[in-house]
Structure 1
Amino acid sequence: MTVTLITGANKGIGYETAKQLLARGHTVYIGARDAERGQKAAAELGANFVQLDVTDDASVGSALSTIGAAEGRLDVLVHNAGVLATTLDGPAALRSFDTNAVGLVRVTEAALPLLRKSSNANVVTISSSAGSFWAVNNPERPEYGLPLALYSASKAAATMLTVQYAKSQPGIKFNALEPGTTATDMTAAFGIGRPVEQSAAVVVRLATLGTDGPTGTFQDESGPLPW
């Protein structure tokens, strides 16, 4: 059994990714900040639940300890938890970076001992082309007109962290992903996005890479993206 942890998986892309990986035979742990919602999602899917707030060191440590005690290793880690701030001020900036970038570091550092015990460890960061310098400066791209400075900046940081982890951890694959504009709670205010099933399938492709798969990339469903 492939052991998988998905953060922020009680809804949206994380939930659907869990569903698709369960169908592939993975043992899936749904990480969610809200215990009631996370337990409900896990029960619906037939997954396991761990309370995991990516902004809290103790919560992250406890979640990974639980998985370690039960499974002895971690094969796949999907960094899915994220926030999208529409205001631009100090508190919003701190929350955006703490969740979208620092949270990635917290969870990765806690997970590394378990990932190193896997024979084919994959780490997938749900990033965004809104954090691509190429995309936001390209008038032909939808990101060009998005007024999402904090989301874009924190996702740029998430992609860079992923690439740096790939360099420092050559035995583990780290890849960042633009999953496609998806209709979720996060994008509801914009009235945009495709069905979550389509974007989750892109996540699943990276989460199920073989031992010879790429690492250190930022890509979408069509392949590597400039950023």
Structure 2
Amino acid sequence: MNLNLFNTPPEQWTEPLSPGAQVLRQYATAHTDSLLAGIHAIAAQAPFRQMQTPGGYTMSVAMTNCGTAGWITDRKGYRYSTTDPLSGQAWPAIPADFRSLAQAAALAAGFPAFQPDACLINRYQVGAKMALHQDRDEPDLTAPIVSVSLGLPATFLWGGLQRSDKVLKVPLLHGDVVVWGREARLVFHGIAPLKAGQHPLLGEARLNLTFRQAL
């Protein structure tokens, strides 16, 4: 089903994934410049880094955060922290235009009261991936997740409530936004290894912004 969103151009449409989840195709494309400028400023304060999982595995994805809290992982476990462990300082604030985009996307997907206080920013180089996982470190699981894709195309892996459930492979392009919540809130999801390519703005890379209510 293809539905226009609030008088958006015809190339923008919604694509259902499962109950409670949908892709808003090209929803963030017009915001590319401000998003990239914001990411550059955030990374200048809180650089991208490849974190270590509790099991000692170094993630292939480089990550930073902005907001009241940032998601981190190390030998102690997965959790949110109000400070950047590299600097001991508070994470950079979520830029106003980031917040507005996330809230508008959530509203377009049927989640009208989204108040993101954390934004995870992932940088994928060719070959980087994200294993199937659930986002369950947030105390309020009634709030949705809003995920923005920039740069190289990626294959989004969308499963079910069990890790063993069948996985749908969903192509994500620059500017696409995925929103999920309600019955889809704890669906297992991930990113297949990023394929080689060249994006006109980001080169051989993909950036992903994931907005959450973390505190």
User: Which protein has greater RCO, CA pairs closer than 8 Å, 6+ apart?
Assistant: 2
- TM-score under structure 1 length normalisation: 0.27
- TM-score under structure 2 length normalisation: 0.28
Structure showing the higher helix proportion among its residues: 1
